[in-house]
Amino acid sequence: MAFGFNQESVNGGLAKLVQHFCLQQGLAVPAECLAYQDAQRIPFNVWQHLLHQVNEHYQQPALGLQIARLIEPAHIGIMGYLGLSCQNLGEALQRFERYHRLAYDCNDLQINIKDNLVEISWGINAGKPGQLVDETAIALFKNIAEQLIQPLALTLSHVEFVNPQPAHTRIYEQYFGCPVSFNAARTRIGFPITLLAAPVNRADQTLQKLLENHAAALLHELPEHDDFDQQLQLYMTQAVQQGSICIDDIAQRMSLSARGLQRQLVKRNYSFQQRLAQVRETLAKQYLLDSKLSLIDIALLLAYSEQSAFQRAFKQWTGQTPHQWRSSQQGHAGTIS
């Protein structure tokens, strides 16, 4: 299963988190969990694949919320220990803003304070990972923050996702304890500014300077995000949605000639058609999660002239037909206790 994230990654400890969940639930442990359990980083597309593999065998909706219940600071590496070294949640949030990529390196992060609320949001500059991946990330953040300030709770004012609304929305509202909306411009969570003063439970500042120096060194080792690839993905997505895919037009938008664009692609070891297929696959999965869209609708939205061409391409990408993939994602029923 290919996804459109080529540079991004998450902390390797998250493989152990998923392994723990699978063992607790009596599910088969995906091979990636074992392959990356001792790794420092997990490529983001592997992380996506890993979650979707578990989802295929899990018989309840909102898998990410359940996985996040088992999170411990060690699962996010040095970020977890840095949080434990802080005096209060506000100080921990400052460290999170600075070093968040060490735990979860995908889209851009913004932290704003407005109307007595702290709002943390993530963009879509690297793409939309999908509801399963996003809900896992937001639930992980909530649960880690609550572990830091327990017995206090991180009382959320709102949660917003960029993805289409899933079938079981009440589960999200029950879990987060606040209104949850979908199809937003950015993924967001908000909580009262007063929580910034919440003391960290058993705070230990003795090693804080050492931990921060180590975190800075690890952050320096992470690769810089490729602005070219993110820009290409954006313009390809727009071209697909507009129904007009032309390498000359996309190159012009990027202030390149078609030949110059091809040279940049060769440097990155992929072709225009390969990157286009990744963009289409990502969009296809987003559209398939919207039960109101038929396969004909989705084929047109992806700029295919015929539904059969879309179905063949999707089977080549995923090993499943669009109908099979949609059923595997939307066919889970049940409640979360």
Distance from C-alpha of 3 to C-alpha of 274, rounded to nearest angstrom: 11
CA terminus-to-terminus distance, the chain:
31
pLDDT at 226 (0 to 100): 63
Beta bridge partners of 105: 9
- What are the backbone dihedrals phi and psi of residue 104, each rounded to the nearest 5 degrees, phi first? -155, 100
Element containing residue 34 per DSSP (H, E): helix 31-36
One DSSP character per residue, 249-283 reads HHHHHTT--HHHHHHHHHHTT--HHHHHHHHHHHH
Asked if pLDDT for residue 233 goes beyond 90, the answer is: no
Map out the domains of the chain with their CATH numbers: 9-221 (3.90.1520), 227-327 (1.10.10.60)
Which of 169-178, 230-239, 269-278, 297-306 is the least confident region?
230-239
Element containing residue 146 per DSSP (H, E): helix 131-149
Which of 2-6, 109-113, 196-200, 267-271 is the least confident region?
2-6
pLDDT band, residue 75 (cuts 50/70/90): very high
Higher pLDDT, 205 or 250: 250
* Residue 129, CA distances (Å) to 3, 93, 191, 247 in order: 8, 24, 24, 25
pLDDT band, residue 3 (cuts 50/70/90): very low
**What percent of the chain shows pLDDT beyond 90?**
46
Mean pLDDT for the stretch of residues 280-309: 88
pLDDT tens-place string over residues 158-178: 999 999 999 889 999 999 999
Mean pLDDT for the stretch of residues 97-108: 88
pLDDT at 337 (0 to 100): 30
What mean pLDDT value characterizes the chain?
Answer: 87
Distance from C-alpha of 254 to C-alpha of 231, rounded to nearest angstrom: 8
CB 106 within 8 A of CB 5: yes
